[in-house]
Chains A and B, each alone.
Chain A
């Protein structure tokens, strides 16, 4: 297992090397002045320019510049945003938890709904229930998410008026910022209207979570169903049945573990799609997360912000990918073999 871990980490180092090289070269590939792109400053006079050239080591060769770039990233000196002239790292720290919160709840919802539905669909493939679950999964899979989000807003926010259509929390509530995760912050906050605020935050969360969870849930249903059907054909299931175990015992002891193993891996593979969809969802629901911020930055040609957003999101996707791989190996003895 430790050898497996070492090999994975070794591979990951190369991926991060490539990623950092790409992010570094973006500063030069973006149109406009290299110094502006690197620092994020808009007006630069001659004296300041000389200082910045020294700071970014632009008079040195590319290798030196790359090393300087790496040490700046490590120190947390990521430059300023063109739009707000604020340090980028600070902005990202404020925005990232909102995205993570939304994504985590959507993933959780997709597990809670997707796995049982997939199992039911696998066990009753020819019944009405099984067929309607499969039909629903196909429909959800092919639903354009922005259209689906707008439909839900029209129905629940505009027509029925049950749920808010934008933001994370009503303007009536003032919650001090600590972890950035809204529900956690509310529970930690020392305010009188805690339960009301919590309720309000949940109402804000509901629609975006449903919209974002649609895609992973349908993927999960289809995947669990296929994996279960496949596993149920295997000889070891027949052995377990011949041992005299009941259907539930066979499912629990041998079916689930083998069928859910590929699902763990699937989470890692689907995570990048999920982040992309989270960006769309954030735009639709005006959710103050990193996705909406990145899309705004692209519209504003905010090059330093694009570079930083790329670094953060790619790192996140790669790390999650790696974690699910390691989890998969932890549960699957065959993957550990070598």
Chain B
């Protein structure tokens, strides 16, 4: 069943110099129990999309879409109150900097307990608070925090980033969400903790059937833990499909360049040869090229590229390029 179905999502910012289109007609869909990665460089609009789904964008941003469905309901047509109710029930999100996402003046116990919705607590009302505490401790154990006594009484600044992120995950899974959005959950963490967290997310996906939208700029870790992948460049969706298929046979030059830039995907690269990279750098959002935004940096660009390519489909593989790479002559 389709959980999230977004078509042509556009996010714009009104500034003194006119509208800046930070996200340009991106389509995204998620099935129940699916893990999808959303990859792109910083500034490609990944976080904006996540925030637009959860509805915590500033009022300065203007969000439009042809379709913005959650379980068949168009979120953009609902009132903010109704929308908050649905999202509060079904979607949870964790952020890049866990220690800043926790209220610095409240102890973990307070913050964790308020994340547990009332309808998940059983028993008469006078047992509620005891049950709530028991459930909070259980949640901490689930995310692999053993010393719950100390952590519950701590303020966020007294804990490491890794523990904070685990607390964030505990808060996120408290309401048994259908979808967990993880916005670069591991950027602030050490590499051993990173692996732990990814495994944790994967286990919740497998045990509870919770869909995960994993947002990151690290292609290799996203590729390892997701079934589907969407690649963004400069606010445009360049390619989407099954992760394995996409890595083996990318159709878009940007995806190709992205894969070639990761040493782990290049086992037969000789020592001391430079990694492949596209010329130039990402344009600022005020000066994006018209048409395909990759245009000026693309090795295959031709005259036609000044028109935005439509999203095309080859079986389960979507791409938006006038001149896709062919699978012929590749490894």
A residues lining the B interface (CB < 8 Å): 233-236, 238-246, 249, 253-254, 257-258, 261, 331-334, 337
Digitize B53-90: 1 where CB-to-A-CB distance is under 8 Å, 0 elsewhere: 01010100000000000000000000000001101110
CB contact under 8 A between A334 and B56, given known A239-B171, A242-B93, A244-B175: no
Chain B residue nearest to A246 in the complex (CB): B84
Choice from B84, B89, B117 contacting A241 with Cβ under 8 Å: B84
Q: Are A242 and B87 in contact (CB under 8 A)?
A: yes
Measured between alpha carbons, how far is A249 from B110 in the docked complex, in Å?
13
A258 vs B106: C-alpha distance when bound (angstroms): 10
> Chain A contacts of B56 at CB under 8 A?
238, 241-242
Q: Is the CB of A235 within 8 A of B101?
A: yes
Task: Name the A residues within 8 Å of B171 (CB-CB).
Answer: 239, 243
What are 9 residue pairs bridging A and B, where the CB atoms are less than 8 Å apart in the complex?
A: A234-B100, A235-B97, A235-B100, A239-B95, A240-B114, A243-B88, A244-B175, A253-B106, A254-B106
A234 to B105, CA, bound (A): 13
Please name all residues of chain A whose beta carbon is closer than 8 Å to the beta carbon of B91 when the two chains form the complex: 242
Against A, the Cβ 8 Å flags (1 = close, 0 = not) of B269-296 are 0000000000000000000000000000
B85 touches A238 (CB 8 A): no
Report Cα–Cα, A171/B91, bound state, in Å: 70
What residues of chain B lie closer than 8 Å to A240, measured between beta carbons?
103, 114
Q: Kindly state the interface size class of chain B when it binds its partner.
A: 20 to 34
Which A residues lie within 8 Å of B84 (CB)? 241, 244, 246
- A254-B103 in contact (CB<8A): yes
CA distance A238 to B84 in the complex (A): 12
Total CB contacts across the A-B interface at under 8 A: 74
Nearest B residue to A331 via CB reads B105
A75 to B88, CA, bound (A): 66
Across-interface contacts of A241 in B (CB, < 8 A): 56, 84
Nearest Cβ on chain A to B182's Cβ, whole angstroms: 12
Complex interface bits, B88-124 against A, C-beta within 8 A gives 1, otherwise 0: 1101110101001111111000100011010000000
A239 touches B168 (CB 8 A): yes
Q: Which A residues touch B265, using CB under 8 A?
A: none
* B window 208-226: CB within 8 A of A: none
Please encode chain B, from 127 to 163, with 1 for each CB lying within 8 Å of some chain A CB and 0 for all others.
Answer: 0000000000000000000000000000101000000
